[in-house]
Amino acid sequence: MDGKISRRDMLAKAALVGAGALAGSLISPKAEASDDESLMKQWPWPYVKLDPAVTAEIAYQNWYNLGCGGTVMFSIFDQLAKKIGEPYKSFPVESFAIYEGGIAGWGTTCGSVNGAGTVISLIVGPPTWEDRSKTITSDIFDWYSHTNMPVYVPLKPHANKDSIPHTVSDSPLCHVSVSKWMKKANAALGSEERKDRCARVSASVAYKVVQYLNMIHDDKFDKEHANWSGPIKSGTTAQYNCADCHGKNVPKPPMPKKPTAGE
Ligand code: HEC
């Protein structure tokens, strides 16, 4: 024995002699779980106001390491790690690089809005009125889909230095958003122009997220700020523009059976 007693030994002993006997003497309850661990479990996470423009430039520059989703999260969490500390310091934000390309290149939800939703859920937290984090996330999806993107102009652009084509995706899907832009710009997926465009889109989203978080922080967000008109009532999980994919004959999902007498 080297004289050190592991936590597991302690717990075994505590089980033998009764936790109560040890709690007051050797083990203080605080030392049981690390502070970082318990902070990580608190939800929502603390927030101090950030500058949307500063955040956007961080997001733009780090897109090149972390992709769209990772950079939206990093641009906010890295600043909060420096200003607040935990739980941001221990949070492996780089792991969200997996959101790139609509998750691992599958072209599903654009990583930037996926990252936005994750940040909002962690900071805004569980529903306080009618699921606030869901409303804000929906608002961002709606704004993303209907905005002539990209909005943000970087201080130090990597490409498209003179001008950049803009497109409205009408969809939060990476595949739709990126492909429509590539068509208009006549730029390939691997081109510097396309990368700069997606970095700018991520920066635009990070800017928007911080605007919302600041509003929430000042308790200035209420339903009047929400552009989103409410949950979709189509009978299936979907975005609104059914006809974009289905054409004129939008199929009808099965609807709940009307209760009959006796049911
Ligand atoms: C991003 C493209 C997209 C959008 C937008 C979309 N769908 Fe679909 N949907 C699909 C695809 C792809 C399938 C699978 C089609 C198949 O299997 O033939 C499907 C299948 C369905 C099905 C079941 C299969 C069928 O063909 O009957 C229903 C019902 C449906 N969609 C309804 C809707 C409704 C209602 C909306 C709008 C509220 C909507 N969809 C929006 C792409 C889309």
Protein residue whose Cα sits closest to atom 32 of ligand 1: 251
Q: Tell me how long the chain is.
A: 263
Lowest-confidence range among 17-31, 42-56, 125-139, 148-162?
A: 17-31
Q: What is the pLDDT of residues 188-221, one digit of tens each?
A: 999 999 999 999 999 999 999 999 999 989 988 7
* Percent of the chain at pLDDT exceeding 90: 62
Ligand 1 center from residue 253 Cα (angstroms): 9
User: What pLDDT is recorded for position 225?
Assistant: 61
**Band (12; pLDDT cuts 50, 70, 90):** very low
Residue 214 near residue 63, CB atoms below 8 Å: no
* Whether residue 227 has pLDDT greater than 90: no
Residue range 121-143: mean pLDDT, rounded: 80
Protein residue whose Cα sits closest to atom 43 of ligand 1: 245
Indicate the top mutation candidate among 246, 248, 249, 250 to test ligand 1's pocket, ranked by most ligand atoms within 8 A of CB.
Answer: 246
Ligand 1 center from residue 217 Cα (angstroms): 38
Residue range 247-260: mean pLDDT, rounded: 85
How many Cα atoms within 13 Å fall on the side-chain side of residue 189? 10
Ligand 1 center from residue 242 Cα (angstroms): 7
174, burial (CB in 10 Å: exposed 0-12, middle 13-18, buried 19+): buried
Ligand 1 center from residue 230 Cα (angstroms): 20
Residue range 110-135: mean pLDDT, rounded: 84
Whose tokens are 């309850």? That residue is 29
Residue 111 near residue 68, CB atoms below 8 Å: yes
* Whether residue 4 has pLDDT greater than 80: no
Q: What is the pLDDT of residues 140-168, one digit of tens each?
A: 999 999 999 999 999 999 999 999 999 99
Whose tokens are 């990368």? That residue is 195
User: What pLDDT is recorded for position 10?
Assistant: 37
How many Cα atoms within 13 Å fall on the side-chain side of residue 174? 24
